[in-house]
Amino acid sequence: MMNWRNDGVAKVTGKAKYADDIKLFDMLHCVPVYSNQIHAEIVEINTDSAQKSSGVVKVITAKDIPGVKKFGQIRKDYALLADDKIRYEGDVIALIVADTLENALQAVAKVSAKYKKLPSVLTTEEASKDKILIHDVYDSNLINHHKVRKGDIVKGFAECDIILEDFYETNFVEHGYLEPESAVCQVRDDGVIEVYGSMQHPFSSRRFTAALLGKKLSEIEVITIPMGGGFGGKDDTAAIVCARTALAAWLCNKPVKMTYTREWSIKESYKRHPYKMNYKIGLKKGKIHALEANIVADGGAYTSVSPWVTWRSTVQCGGPYIIPHVYTDVKAFYTNNVYTGAFRGFGSPQVNFAIEQIVEVLAEKIGLDPITFRKNNMLRQDSITVSQQKLDNHIVSLDQVLDKVIKESNYSDKLTKCSYGKSDDSKLYGIGLAMSYRGCSLGAEGKDFTSAIINVQFDGSILLEVSIHENGQGSETAMINILAKELGLPFSKIRYRRSSTSSIPDGGTTVASRGTLMGGGALMDAIAKLKLIINKVIAPKLSCKPNEIIYQNNLLISPSEKSVTWEEAMSIMYQNCTYPYAFGSFEAPPVTWDEECGAGKAYFTYVYSAQVAEIEIDMKTKKLKVLDIYAVHDIGKAINKGLLSGQIYGGVVQGLGMALKENLIIEDGHIVTDNFHKYRIYRANELPRIHDFVIENPDPNTPSGAKGIGEPALEIISPAIANAIYRATGRRMKKLPMLMEDICKQ
Amino acid sequence: MQAIINRKEIKIKKCDLDKQLLTFIREDLNLTGTKNGCNIGVCGACTVLINNEPQRSCKLKVSDIIDKELLTIEGMSENNDLHPLQKSFLDHDAVQCGFCTPGMVLTAHALLLKNNNPTEAEVRDAIKINLCRCTGYQQIVDSIISAKRFYK
């Protein structure tokens, strides 16, 4: 029985309690106050009138902060309550805490403030001049600059027989998690501040909260509860909402809830980085020989994780191809736009949108079909990547995923039926393909290690916890699946603990498609240790050696087929005064990175993917219909096929939204598309069926053999669609989203 | 004044008539399975059934349910037994974050009560009023089609 998840019943019955569903006795309500400014000095904030407003318990401003005023995951530049300056429209100048939500909202307009307007910086071009600095403490708006320097770029281009230069552009994208940010906090009788939040990283939320309150990590307990979607988007902003709510609870000494409206969420929460990408690429006798890329990302008002997001773009800047000479710069700049950070894909969907179109343009230039061109150039076993990593420690399966997607989609036949702008009626048909290699987990971005605890009770029931977070993807279920299989037990014996930051050591963020891979790694370690403990006690009873015991069908079995049931075994453990308890950890295999030349073993393994999209454009009705999608991914090993497919479908559809629909409009620094009626995400009736296929080459670098899927599923659909649009219309779309008005523009 | 809420007759106070139905359900009745995703009637997370029609409770007032039958997600399962449609959602891995799930289940239930043999296109058309950001809808569609046999 694989179609099962531990939180399934709670979620289909409405019993699952998300942050806003929690009510605590004597709970107050908190709301943020915004400035309606884009870039301004704060001269004065007057809260007197708001303080006197009906039901208001406290109005909190930056001067009430007991801890640090600015925090961040990399640069500590984010003012959790704006103090000296407004840097984007999402900055919060005050928090109102009142007895009811209505009273808190009533008081918002009563906060008055004086500002000295500053000229705003709304483009990276303007930001790069450093005429106006967003953060005075830094002498430049440049957040980071990553480089790739490989070979000799001048010599490389000199040797090329064809050189192509092209410009591609992507936009801000909103995560669109269905549940807006929310947190409920209380000060416990032991002085610990409890945090229940809609966030995807309890440990990061704890760091933000501890910093704002000036407390130690042990004094904050962030507790896991169901979360209504994250997709990378419930890290910084969600952690900040938790921290502010905890501040309110601490200052008022009462439980406090803060739940965002959709409008606040869209205004304040970070988005996907818009990229501007200048590519120059040269061929020598049909092989990609030189690549120069100048990539600029809009980081918005705060750093967040821009340095990490843009770093991934270096390794993937050339797509999954062998390129001897590479010269790439990736920069992120501060602007007064909404800040940008983690979003499923993390710096890869942007570069894939460019490079996976560029290879097809090049193929056409030399009269090759796109598959032959890709096969002539793609990474294979033991190939060297653009960042000088030899792919020799796992199976490089680009050929497998590519062949599979071609076969399943009948790509080659359909390629001959494409319209290229010509058809007998108004309908144009096109098919498009894209592929990628994607580094797994954090890579050289940061420290990468995770923990797991198996605590078997003497009645045989098991408490399991792993320090990755259930974001909705089913990570808890996947961990239960692994443990059940390894111990030969039914799922029903395993209860995933509602873990907290106080119950298990920090396992890092549940990002970078690392949940199953890293969590599974730690769990496999814990399982091995648990079995050592159990086997030592049970082996004499089964008259065998400890390492000979097999766990199967609720039994511990010796080679001579003597056995005890799992329950009997745990009873024996009790009689022996031995705890069947194990702590496991997993540290990602070593990675290296040289910042100066952008070289090293960037990731310890890679996922390989290929997707095909078929589209039909009706030039009369100006409608684009996605007909079919084929997705093939080598994910190492499938732990739970149903959840895996869910990740593929969801990732593809989010990617489709980015490709064709989702247009976050910002006018003079203000986000116009402030709710789902203006920011439109895909609905069920607008989508085709997605055909997903999994290739399993168990990864030797991960204990469970699994790699990841959350992000690979999203990162190549926009170029596949763009390539299909080209085959339908004869027009190259180089800007996201690809809207019909632009596709039809002559 | 009264309404039938999850098969029970509930007296409605006059002072509650102008309340937003969603707030009434969540805050007064403590039925928190009904979610607030956008509060403008676009996302469908607050979907409830009124006389078996899917409605967005954020756009309605308590007065809209007087003498009517209101079904929230808490009313879908009786005696803690999952409704076959709920079971089907689980059997098809149609649940991820779960935030859209209550509204999605109710919309599907209303469809199947009316049409116990819908095509895939009809299912997709019916649930277009409910946004989901996690699943790409495919497993949800499959679970609804598979559950139709229980409505015959």
For the stretch A378-409, pLDDT in tens is: 999 999 999 999 999 999 999 999 999 999 99
A509 pLDDT higher than 80: no
Average pLDDT for A498-509: 89
How many Cβ atoms are within 10 Å of A435's Cβ, its own excluded? 25
- Phi, psi of A206, deg, nearest 5: -65, -40
Alpha carbon A90 to its chain centroid, in Å, reads 21
What's the pLDDT score for residue A443? 79
Contacts with A402 (C-beta within 8 Å, 6 or more apart), sequence order: A371, A374, A375, A378, A435, A610
Contact A237, A304 (CB under 8 A): no
Q: Write the CATH number of the domain with boundaries B2-75.
A: 3.10.20.30
Which pLDDT value is given to residue A516?
80
Find the residue in B nearest to A175 (Cα).
B133
Residues of chain A with Cβ-Cβ distance to B26 below 8 Å are 21
Q: What are phi and psi of B138, to 5 degrees?
A: -60, -45
Q: B133 and A14: CB-CB below 8 Å?
A: no
What residue ranges do the domains of chain B occupy? 2-75, 84-151
B138-147 and B84-91 helices, crossing angle to 10°: 140
pLDDT of res. A512: 67
How much is the ipTM here? 0.98
**Tally of CA atoms within 13 A in the half-sphere of A527 that contains its CB:** 21
Binned at pLDDT 50, 70 and 90, residue A515 comes out as confident
Q: What percent of chain A has pLDDT over 70?
A: 99
Any idea what DSSP says for residue B119? -
pLDDT digits (tens, 9 = 90+) for B64-111: 999 999 999 999 998 889 999 999 999 999 999 999 999 999 999 999
Inform me whether the pLDDT recorded for A444 exceeds 90: no
Residue among B98, B100, B138 whose CB faces A16 most closely: B98
The pLDDT value given to residue A1: 43
Of the candidates B73, B77, B98, which has its C-beta nearest A472's C-beta? B98
- Domain ranges for chain A: 25-118+181-259, 275-443+595-744, 449-587
Q: Which residues of B touch A18 (CB under 8 A)?
A: 32, 35, 99
Section A716-725 average pLDDT: 98
Region A461-476: what's the mean pLDDT? 91
pLDDT of residue A19: 98
Q: Report DSSP letters for B70-103, one per residue.
A: EE-GGGTSBTTBPPHHHHHHHHTT--SS-SSHHH
Predicted local confidence at residue A292, as pLDDT = 98
Whether residue A349 has a cis bond before it, omega within 30° of 0 = no
pLDDT at position A448 is 84
Question: Nearest Cβ partner of A228 from B76, B77, B99?
Answer: B99
Whether A436 shows a pLDDT value over 50: the answer reads: yes
Class of domain B84-151 (CATH, top level)? mainly alpha
CB atoms within 10 A of CB A347: 30
Average pLDDT (A670-696) is 98
Contact between B133 and A229 using a beta-carbon 8 Å cutoff: yes
Q: How far is residue A223 CA from its own chain's centroid?
A: 21
Residues of B in contact with A8 (CB under 8 A): 89-90, 95
Least CB–CB distance from B93: residue in A228, A231, A643: A643
Residue position matching structure tokens 């999209």: A613
Confidence check: pLDDT of A2 > 60 = no
Return the percentage of chain A with pLDDT > 90, whole number. 91
Per residue in A67-77, pLDDT (tens digit) is 999 999 999 99
**Chain B residue closest to A261 (CA)?**
B38
Mean pLDDT score, A307-327: 97
- Dump strand ranges (E) for chain B: 2-5, 8-11, 47-50, 53-56, 69-71
Average pLDDT value for residue range A692-720? 94
Record: contact A676-B42, CB cut-off 8 A: yes
CB contact under 8 Å between B30 and A23, yes or no, is yes
CATH for A25-118+181-259, options being 1.10.10.410, 3.40.1400.10, 1.25.40.10, 3.90.1170.50: 3.90.1170.50
Q: Do the domains spanning A275-443+595-744 and A449-587 agree at the CATH topology level?
A: yes
- What is the average per-residue pLDDT within A675-688? 98
Question: Comparing A296-300, A439-443, A575-579, which segment has the lowest mean pLDDT?
Answer: A439-443
Whether residue A704 has pLDDT greater than 90: no
Residues from chain A that touch B36, judged by Cβ atoms under 8 A, are 20, 180
Mutation for testing the B interface, residue in A25, A175, A178 having most B CBs under 10 Å: A178
Three-class SS of residue B42? coil
Q: Which of A108-117, A442-451, A595-604, B38-47 has the lowest mean pLDDT?
A: A442-451
Integer-rounded Cα radius of gyration of chain A: 27
Does pTM top 0.95 for this prediction?
A: yes
Q: 3-class SS at A89?
A: coil
Residue (of A323, A325, A246, A322) closest to A81 by Cα position: A246
Q: Which residues of A touch B43 (CB under 8 A)?
A: 178, 262, 676
Closest-CA distance of chain B to residue A647, Å: 7
B30 contacts A676? CB cut-off 8 A: no
CB contact under 8 A, B131 and A683: yes
Distances B133 to A65, A202, A654 between C-alpha atoms, Å = 36, 22, 7
Indicate the pLDDT class of residue A746, thresholds 50, 70 and 90.
Answer: low
In chain A, which residue's Cα lies nearest the Cα of B101? A12
B76 CB neighbours in chain A (<8 A) are 13-14
Q: In chain A, what residues touch B93 (CB-CB under 8 Å)?
A: 3, 5, 474, 642-643, 645-646
Q: Which two tokens stand for residue A565?
A: 């049931």
Residue in chain B nearest A641 by alpha carbon: B93
Point out the residue among B38, B98, B136 whose CB comes nearest to the CB of A690.
B136
> Tens of pLDDT along A482-502?
999 999 999 999 999 989 999
Bridge partners (DSSP) of residue A34 are: A92
CATH architecture of the domain A449-587 equals 2-Layer Sandwich (3.30)
Whether A600 contacts A150, CB under 8 Å? no
Residue of A nearest to B125 (CA): A685
Q: What is the pLDDT of residues A93-116, one digit of tens each?
A: 999 999 999 999 999 999 999 999
Residue A402: the pLDDT is 98
Does the domain at A275-443+595-744 match CATH 3.40.50.300? Answer given as no
Strand partners, A330: A146, A295
CA distance B67 to chain A (A): 24
Output the six-digit token pair for A438: 């994607």
Q: Phi, psi at residue A286, to the nearest 5°? A: 85, -5
The span from the CA of A229 to the CA of A244, in Å, is 21
**Residue A513 pLDDT more than 80?**
no
Q: Quote the CA–CA distance of A652 and A657 in Å, as a whole number.
A: 9
Cβ of B139 within 8 Å of Cβ of A473? The answer is: no
Q: With H, G, I as helix, E, B as strand and everything else as coil, classify residue A653.
A: helix
CA A562/CA A548 separation, integer angstroms: 11
Q: Which of B33, B128, B131 sits opposite A178 (nearest CB)?
A: B131
A661's tokens: 């629909």
